Chain A
Amino acid sequence: MFNIENFLISLPILGWGMLGIFIVIGIIMLCVITLDKIFPAEKDK
């Protein structure tokens, strides 16, 4: 019933996937913080 071989193949995807999503989101977050520093709302006014 259980497919251990498939499970072992998919296990690293869990790790890499979560690492990947945090890296991408982390970079986006840093970009947003930087954007806010370079272009603060006061400058618009």
Chain B
Amino acid sequence: MEALFSNIFEFHWQMAVMWLIGGILIYLAIKKEMEPSLLLPMGFGAILVNLPLSGAVNVFDKVTGEWEYGPIDTLFSAGIANELFPLLLFIGIGAMIDFTPLLSNPKMFLFGAAAQFGIFFTLIVASLLGFDLKDAASIAIIGAADGPTSIFVSNYFNSNYTGAIVVAAYSYMALVPIVQPPVIKLITTKKERMIRMPYSQKEISKTTKILFPIIITIIAGMIAPKSVALVGFLMFGNLIRECGVLKSLSETAQNALANLITLVLGLTIATKMQYESFLNVQTLMIIALGLVAFVFDTVGGVMFAKFLNLFVKNKVNPMVGACGISAFPMSARVINKMGLKEDPQNFLLMHAVGANVSGQVASVIAGGLVITLVSNAIR
């Protein structure tokens, strides 16, 4: 009888807190539809790994004196510790993205760059708050607004806070409709928000669409070599999409591959949500710093658009700058809605999508730059 219930004595109250956190993630995924494909497996995983002597993770068996390997830790070693899962997911994401709105309006590229400001700003704030440079860089990358990039960078630096970073990244991506509007309203005037941007459909040749992913990979590889795995896999996915002869592969990458990896990724990340490493002040600080990253990404994009307006004849609606954040397509939708609210005839969607897609590329490159610059600084 004692043997039957002995596991219960291994229970700690912090486990119940983690069940509650897991429950909240599942609730947000199902009821609020916030990034359900990631938050639901993560929520369930958080419960799974926080059971007393959970067989889902590696446990030291006191009787045999040996480690028993759990499937979630095994998956982590097989797919995240070597960065494989985020990279495979990037093939699927690349296959999903249509770069046409960006290629037909290359000016939008600049907003993608400007809206990465939050990453670098958060890096210095996290450093100031006492996180070592590797952890500060891992936390800052929440501002990439891109789950796989966050996982890739935090894992590259072997951060102790990967669980909290990924939860924050996916949560804020889902919260873009709540985070961005008040920030944009605070730093723009009504007149600026009403600026109209006429859109004329411009066709892009198939050759350009095919050469684009290849050229981006070469440029990123030459200038920011650490980003080449991320950029390369993203662009490979896009090349499959655009080449026109691999339709079934493109569909597989967009659906089956992306879904499978997402499914395993969420559950696997939960291994970093064990109460011993998750329930601490640093986790709360990371959640707060994630918000700082998203806010300053938005500020960077909007302020750059305002700066650009000092020199250009055809003014840019500064709200479009905020779409340079990589949360695709959420941010573009939010800005289009805000534009229509200010002026029912102001259709910003295509410009917003262009800037948003640029943010996808820029955030991945920013991830590579963060790895390169921080690695050099701590060498």
A residues at B contact (CB < 8 Å) = 1-4, 6-7, 9-14, 16-18, 20-29, 31-33, 35-36, 39-41, 43-44
Across the interface, which residues of A come within 8 angstroms of B133, CB to CB?
6, 9-10
Interchain CA distance A9-B376 in the complex, whole Å: 11
Does the CB pair B219–A32 fall under 8 Å? no
Inter-chain contacts of A44 with B (CB < 8 A): 205-207
The main secondary structure of chain A at its interface with chain B is helix
Answer yes or no: B323 CB below 8 A from chain A CBs: no
Complex interface: chain A residues within 8 A of B107 (CB): 29
What sequence of 0s and 1s flags, for each residue 78-120 of chain B, a beta carbon within 8 Å of any chain A beta carbon? 0000000000000000000000001100110110111011011
Q: Is the CB of B373 within 8 A of A16?
A: yes
Distance of A31 Cα from B378 Cα, bound (Å): 33
Q: Are A13 and B373 in contact (CB under 8 A)?
A: yes
Q: How far is the CA of A2 from the CA of B127 in the complex (A)?
A: 8
* Interface core residue of B112, B113, B358 (most chain A CB under 10 Å): B113
Tell yes or no: B212 within 8 A of A by CB: yes
Report the nearest A residue to B324, measured CB to CB: A25
> Which of B112, B132, B205 touches A6 (beta carbons < 8 Å)?
B132
Q: Contacting B124 at CB < 8 Å: which of A7, A31, A41? A: A7
* Complex alpha-carbon distance, A23 and B106, angstroms: 15
Contact between chains at A3 and B130 (CB < 8 Å): yes
* Chain B residues near A4 (CB-CB < 8 A): 128
A24 to B358, CA, bound (A): 12
Say whether B369 contacts A21, CB under 8 Å. Answer: yes
- Residues of chain B within 8 A (CB-CB) of A28 are 109, 215-216, 219, 361
B117 and A18 form a contact (CB under 8 A): yes
Given contacts A3-B130, A26-B113, 19 further A-B contacts (CB under 8 A): A1-B129, A2-B128, A10-B124, A11-B124, A13-B374, A17-B120, A20-B224, A21-B369, A24-B224, A25-B112, A25-B113, A25-B358, A28-B109, A28-B216, A32-B102, A32-B212, A36-B205, A36-B208, A39-B207
Which residues on the B side are within 8 Å of A33 (C-beta)? 106
User: Which of A2, A13, A40 is the one whose CB lies under 8 Å from B377?
Assistant: A13
Q: CB-nearest residue of chain B relative to A6? A: B127
- Nearest CB on A from B269, distance (A): 26
Chain B CB within 10 A, most for which of A9, A13, A23, A31: A13
> What residues of chain B have their CB less than 8 Å away from a CB belonging to chain A?
102-103, 106-107, 109-110, 112-114, 116-117, 119-121, 123-124, 127-133, 136, 202-208, 211-212, 215-216, 219-220, 223-224, 358, 361-362, 365-366, 369-370, 373-374, 377
| CA gap between A11 and B52 in the complex, in Å | 44
Q: Tell which of B109, B124, B136, B208 touches A25, judged by Cβ atoms closer than 8 Å.
A: B109
With both chains docked as a complex, state the minimum distance between the C-beta of A10 and any C-beta of chain B, in angstroms: 4
CA distance A44 to B242 in the complex (A): 14
Complex Cα distance, B377 from A18, in Å, reads 16
When the two chains form the complex, which single residue of B114, B205, B219 contacts A39, counting CB atoms closer than 8 Å?
B205
Residue of B nearest to A1 (CB): B130
The answer on a CB contact under 8 Å between A17 and B377 is: no
Cα–Cα distance between A13 and B133 once the two chains are bound (Å): 11
Collect the chain B residues with CB atoms within 8 Å of residue A22's CB. Answer: 110, 113-114
Of the residues A11, A12, A43, contact of B205 by C-beta under 8 Å: A43
Chain B residues near A40 (CB, 8 Å)? Answer: 205
Q: Which residue of A lies closest to B112 (CB)?
A: A25
Rounded to whole angstroms, the CA-CA distance of A39 and B207 in the bound complex is 7
